[in-house]
Chain A
Amino acid sequence: MKIAVCVKQVPDTWAEKRLRPADSLLDRESAEGVLNELDEYAVEEALKIQEAHGGEVTIVSMGPERAVETIRKALSMGADAGIHIVDDALSGSDALATSAVLAGVLKDRGFDLIIFGSESTDARMSVVPAMVSERLGLPQLTFAQKVDVNGGTITIERQTDYGFDSVEASSPVVVSVVEKINEPRYPSFKGIMAAKKKPLETLSVADAGVAAGSVGTGAAWSVVADFAARPPKAAGTIVNDEGAGGVKIAEFLATNKII
């Protein structure tokens, strides 16, 4: 089974992130880059499927030079090869452009299974997996909390608000996974050292078969118009309950049009 896992480098979840005033893009210097947490679950799931059914796991990531660290992290967990799409033209790309580039790289490579984390911790849109599956014309098995592989049939449990839906499709398919699905492994030192020797392909936008003019800030359908720092918390109002506390709470809620 040929498996691709699409991963993204994101600013450290716990770091204080900044946007650049000039172009409203993330100041990547402001925070350390890490492998998007949900993508770790996607890598883990790919490795588990590989352990059970054999095959090869390829990590695919679009991002600046240093995103290679993220690919290497996934390789140190046990994946076999990496593809890094890096191009100055990509800066400021939105989800549509990202999905076009990923789809361009993924098509014609014969992947049976393309796995994503269901969202990134920075953009949090959850749309790229669906967009990629649409562009490739593949079934989308998104928001999976469980994946079963039975020959060419892939069955997932799609997490919903009320429980789960069982969804099935024939490979090739696109899967996105949620946190519940597994417990990602920590890379071993052997894995860390082996990761250096694994094949890593570096591609440009042109290699992905996408026109440079259709990606990046200029081509983005959605842009950040403006931003401001979160205002500091204002001091709250303290009301002493002298028998009429309930009434005062109701008045407060009514004043603020909450009730």
Chain B
Amino acid sequence: MDHRLSSEYSDLRAVVEQFAHDVIAPVAAENYENHSFPYDIVKQMGEMGLFGLPFSEDFGGMGGDYFALCIAIEELARVDSSVAITVEAAVSLGAMPIYLFGTEDQKREWLPKLTSGTMLGAFGLTEPGGGTDAGAARTTAHLEGDEWVINGSKSFITNSGTAITGLVTVMAVTGTKDDGSKELSTIIVPAHTPGLTVAPAYSKVGWNASDTHALFFDNVRVPRANLLGELGRGYAQFLQILDEGRIAIAALATGLAQGCVDECVRYSHERQAFGQEIGKFQAIAFMIADMEVRAHTARLAYYDAGSRMLAGEPFKRQAAIAKLHASDAAVTNARWATQVFGGYGYMNEYAVARFWRDSKILEIGEGTNEVQRMLIARDLGI
């Protein structure tokens, strides 16, 4: 029994920590303020192989695993959640479906670019009328000759409108099953396909330096061969992607929770009040101690889910627990960190203000926390 990282993971953690500190931290506030997507950072992360972490070397990957990706995401999120979610979405939602479900030709065509970070992929699932209720999808695709014709719209799609976005994998209704329910399938739509409109970037509460758009499909035509995996397997594919994705989001939330501790520990020494460092006041010291407890237990929760995943064992409940607990830790730590910083914590130029605004989405994305509770309860046989 050893829940600590092996030396490969801990070396990776150290490298990403250094990169985040040296390269991302100095520009994070500016990118956030300007809502500018950090192309230069993406390029450097591509060179480091962060976009290829869980993929085999056959397709330009690093030959690592999904847990290595989670470790990297945690370290990125300690400094900048926008960068962390850009990597998470590009790998977990952009490249992974093609890696898991794609044909040899699809993998050869897309993966080398996606795993090197020179191209970003996006996953079009959520619609204006349904996120949690994915079965409510109204986007349709039907065959005309050798082409899929896609109509509908998608909401909140990460990495879908950057200058290096190469594809969107779209979940669409492709027919009706025998039991009358919708048959859902996923189809690869290359960027700039005629009829695909990328709406202007959303004005979001947080994650300002990440790229999020609504997408509209108006008679978008792609080759029949762009079907990803089997016809009618779209829903099953998406559930599989999301189970892993929850561990990654838990890692991201853990990073944010830890980032709050890092900032507060530093500030508790710097800031003086009533003639002493504010860390000398028990009110502040205890807050930071509790924040560390949350970050630490969040990390243990996602390590646990990760180790089960790597061992090939069921991990659905543990992933849900990790995502629920870590996002809770992130939101609470961000709120408390802002409190420790007082008025400065409310100023956008301070990292804790960014953390505060970035934290809320973690209770919503990759399955809302209510969905996590449902999954846990169901797994307990309730």
Q: Which residues of A contact B (CB under 8 A)?
A: 72-73, 76, 185-190, 192-193, 196
Contact = CB atoms under 8 A, between A and B. Distances in A.
Name A's interface SS.
helix
A190 B18 contact: no
B89 interface: no
A190 B49 contact: yes
B130 interface: no
Contacts, number: 41
A190 B8 CA distance: 10
A196 B62 CA distance: 15
**8 closest A-B pairs by CB:** A188-B49, A189-B62, A190-B62, A192-B11, A189-B64, A186-B48, A186-B19, A189-B12
B33 interface: no
B41 to A, nearest CB: 12
Contacts of A186: 15, 18-19, 44, 47-48
Contacts of B12: 189, 192
Contacts of A189: 8, 12, 49, 53, 62-64, 68
Interface in B39-58: 44, 47-49, 53, 57
Given A76-B11, A193-B8, A188 B19 contact: no
A193 B64 contact: yes
Name B's interface SS.
helix
Nearest to B48: A186
20 contacts: A72-B11, A76-B11, A76-B15, A186-B15, A186-B18, A186-B19, A187-B11, A187-B48, A188-B47, A188-B49, A188-B62, A189-B12, A189-B53, A189-B63, A189-B68, A190-B64, A192-B8, A192-B11, A193-B63, A196-B8
B15 A190 contact: no
B7 to A, nearest CB: 8
Contacts of A185: 47-48
Contacts of B44: 186
Contacts of B19: 186
Given A76-B11, A187-B15, A193-B64, 11 more contacts: A72-B11, A76-B15, A186-B15, A186-B19, A186-B48, A188-B47, A189-B53, A190-B49, A190-B63, A192-B11, A192-B12
Nearest to A195: B11
A15 to B, nearest CB: 14
Nearest to A193: B8
Contacts of B18: 186
Interface centre among A72, A186, A187, A189 (most CB of B within 10 A): A189
